[in-house]
Amino acid sequence: MAAIELRGLTKVYPGGVKALDSLDLDIPDGEFFALLGPSGCGKTTLLRTIAGLETATGGAVVIGDRDVTGVQPGGRDVAMVFQDYALFPHMDVTDNIAYPLRIKKVAKGARREKAEEVGARLGLERLMDRRPGQLSGGQQQRVALARVMATQAQAFLFDEPLSNLDARLRLEARTFLKKLQRELGVTTVFVTHDQAEALAMADRMAVMEAGHIRQIGTPAEVFQRPANTFVAGFIGSTPMNLLDGAVRGDTLEVAGCKVSVPASAEGRLTGGEKIVYGVRPEYMAYSAGPAEGALSGKVAIVENLGASHLVTLDVNDVLVQAVVPEGSEPAVGDDGHALPRRDRALVYRDGELV
Amino acid sequence: MAQATSPPEVVKEDERTRRGYSSDAAGLGNLRAGAFVAPALLLIAAFLVFPALWVLYLGLTNYRLTGAAAAEPQFVGLANLLDAVSNPTFWNSTWLTLQFVLGSAVIGQVVLGFSIAWMLRDRAGPLKRLVEGLVILAWILPSAVVSFLWVALLDRDGGTLNALLGIPGFPWLLDHPMLSIIVFNTWRGTAFSMMLYGAALGNVPPSHLESARLAGASGWQQLRDVVFPHIRGHILTNLLLISLWTFNDFSPFLITAGGPDGRSEVLAVHVYKVALQSGELGYGAAVSTIILLINLVVAVFYLRLLRSKK
């Protein structure tokens, strides 16, 4: 068990692509940490650089007070679960789990015992003699996890651990992984492009874009107070409303409507400046009748989300979305009014949170 | 009414098209399909099947290139075969062929081809293209041309190798005839193995190699635990093909002509010498039959190994 520290980590690929641009990151011992971002943002490169599969162009990787920047992957005492699980097809489950121990020259009896112990813990007792080709996706994932656990490494790295599972299994595996990590208490870094996955599993997360970390925080912090418009647009299953506006005295003018200044931005704005007003559809109170400080327009689209509906209003040619609980959804063409919650709305100046 | 009758019709049509699709995709019918295949089958029968059967028959006669036995060959049964297996020259040739196949195909081409492919696997750019270009060049040149080049290289008096090493007058082809043709055939045939292994290595999932590296596996352990199990089928196919090709290869004749004193007379050269130079066609055909049987055994052996994968 160890903390992971990155100091000014830079990775430039031959050809000049800068995948990581001088990153600093501290992951305390025992934390479940998510690297989140769109494809090509550098999150996988970052994970692979921690593992040593990519060599850093500059900066340092420190795992448990030991600078491992120049150390080969095998000497870093980290274990990784790959997206495709990377189980060896010609070995049975026992041999797959015991493989890292075999490389470490652990005696045959001892490593079989360890493999069986870890396998039993993950519910693989009856599958120990099978080949990976005879296992389902979920079982293969558990074998890959068992192999990682058997190494007793200082830190675990997961590369898109859930992306090869079908949608239903993914939810189960999410809960399972979080529980397992909590029980083991091993520092774990995982990469995902799915914001819901990161929010659900991580203790803390980093949102990345183009080789930079745009925000680090707990899922609650990142969801409620995105530090910039990139994170605001990326996090959340329904995208945040980001509306151009301007400061007019004590109020904001957004999409031709007057709305009150959010609590978080009070006293920090100057009259006349251009801003971006951000509010999540979940934090809008929808009503059929007019309300003070609401965004008013005609209902353009109604989408069914199951227990609620996503209503898109056309407010003076600007589209604004609001989540409406089931039973009170309007019809297309109705007049609608969406009142943002003052304590949840946010104001961005030049893309950064005010 | 129409609604009531249409569903069964649809099912029938569905079935018919499905059956048609599986057995006769082009919709030609047996006769026309046969007509398309016939020319190829006739050519194969005339130039491959018939000569092979003819050799089997010749092996049972005392047929000669010239003389009385050429005009009226006598049926001698298994006499030629018995002659061959009691002939020390035949056994010498078999032993030399074994050396030739093991040395130049199994050890030379496979090991060298795989090593080059492994070393170049994640290289790109001019070095890789240069190495590949040189190796493939050795493969695409006509046998007559490369044989001449090698004779010029190894020549006793004016040879390039002796000039480079500064030992004029060293008779490579006389003192080390087997070594010469083994090195020659390795050089000539490595390209095929290199390209085959290059393609095979591209199919080894990088995550499997990385997984082994993270566990701390050395280069050799990565080869043993990840690469070889993955490309087992490629290795066996490669071994099968080049073993057979090398076994039947005639180009050593172009360099040493089987000499000196039969010291590089591999089986293919032996057959040529007894059948066409000495004119004993019947005996040559019998030896050819033995070669055919050995090839068959080798092929069945590899194919068995290949199938035991599952």
Confidence (pLDDT) at B176? 87
Q: B56 in a domain, yes or no?
A: no
Give A93 to chain B, closest Cα distance, Å.
Answer: 15
Q: Which two tokens stand for residue A39?
A: 């494809």
Average pLDDT, consecutive stretches of 10 residues, N- to C-terminus, chain B (310 residues): 41 48 73 91 93 86 75 78 85 91 91 91 83 85 88 84 82 85 90 90 90 88 91 91 90 84 86 85 87 90 80
The shares of helix, strand and coil residues in chain A, as percent rounded to the nearest 5, are: 30, 35, 35
Is the predicted pLDDT of residue A70 greater than 90, yes or no?
no
Give the CATH class of A241-353: mainly beta
Confidence (pLDDT) at A65? 85
Confidence (pLDDT) at A351? 83
Give tens-digit pLDDT for B90-116: 888 999 999 999 999 989 999 999 999
AA identity, residue B10: V
Confidence (pLDDT) at B309? 60
DSSP letters for A29-52: TT-EEEEE-STTSSHHHHHHHHHT
Confidence (pLDDT) at A35? 92
Choosing among B123, B211, B310, which should be mutated to test the A contact, i.e. which has the most A CBs within 10 A?
Answer: B211
Nearest-Cα residue of chain B relative to residue A91? B225
Confidence (pLDDT) at B22? 56
Provide the residue range defining the domain that includes B107: 82-307
CB contact under 8 A, A82 and B212: no
Q: Which two tokens stand for residue A266?
A: 């009070």
CB contact under 8 A, B213 and A73: yes
HSE (side-chain half, CA atoms, 13 Å) at B124: 2
Q: Could you report the predicted ipTM of this complex, rounded to two decimals?
A: 0.82
Partners of B205 on chain A (C-beta within 8 Å) are 84, 86
CB contact under 8 A, A86 and B221: no
Q: Which two tokens stand for residue A20?
A: 């990581």
Mean pLDDT in chain A? 88
Give the CATH class of A4-234: alpha beta
Give B127 to chain A, closest Cα distance, Å.
Answer: 17
Q: B26 in a domain, yes or no?
A: no
Spatial distance between the Cα atoms of B22 and B42, rounded to a whole number of angstroms: 27
Confidence (pLDDT) at A310? 92
Spatial distance between the Cα atoms of B8 and A99, rounded to a whole number of angstroms: 58
**Number of domains comprising chain B:** 1
Confidence (pLDDT) at B139? 83
The shares of helix, strand and coil residues in chain B, as percent rounded to the nearest 5, are: 75, 0, 25
Instruction: Classify residue B167 by its DSSP letter.
Output: -
Cα dihedral sign, A290-A294-A295-A299 = negative
A20: β partners: A11
- pLDDT band of residue A206 (cuts 50, 70, 90) is very high
Nearest-Cα residue of chain B relative to residue A84? B207
Give tens-digit pLDDT for B105-161: 989 999 999 999 998 887 778 888 888 888 888 888 888 898 888 888 888 887 888
Give B229 to chain A, closest Cα distance, Å.
Answer: 7
Q: B67 in a domain, yes or no?
A: no
Nearest-Cα residue of chain A relative to residue B227? A88
Q: B302 in a domain, yes or no?
A: yes
A98 or B257, which is more confident: A98
Q: B218 in a domain, yes or no?
A: yes
Give tens-digit pLDDT for A20-60: 888 898 999 989 999 999 888 888 999 999 998 988 888 88
Strands A187-192 and A155-159: parallel
Spatial distance between the Cα atoms of A99 and A85, rounded to a whole number of angstroms: 14
Q: B46 in a domain, yes or no?
A: no
Nearest residue to B139 (alpha-carbon basis) of B185, B197, B188: B188
Give tens-digit pLDDT for A157-196: 999 888 888 888 888 888 888 988 888 889 999 999 989 8
**Nearest-by-Cβ selection for A104 from B211, B216, B230:** B216
CB contact under 8 A, B216 and A75: yes
Please state the separation of Cα B111 from the chain's center in Å. Answer: 16
Q: B58 in a domain, yes or no?
A: no
Is the predicted pLDDT of residue A227 greater than 80, yes or no?
yes
Q: Which two tokens stand for residue B178?
A: 């087997």
Q: B227 in a domain, yes or no?
A: yes
Choosing among A49, A55, A82, A92, which should be mutated to test the B contact, i.e. which has the most B CBs within 10 A?
Answer: A82
CATH code assigned at B191: 1.10.3720.10
AA identity, residue A38: P
Annotated domain spans of chain A = 4-234, 241-353
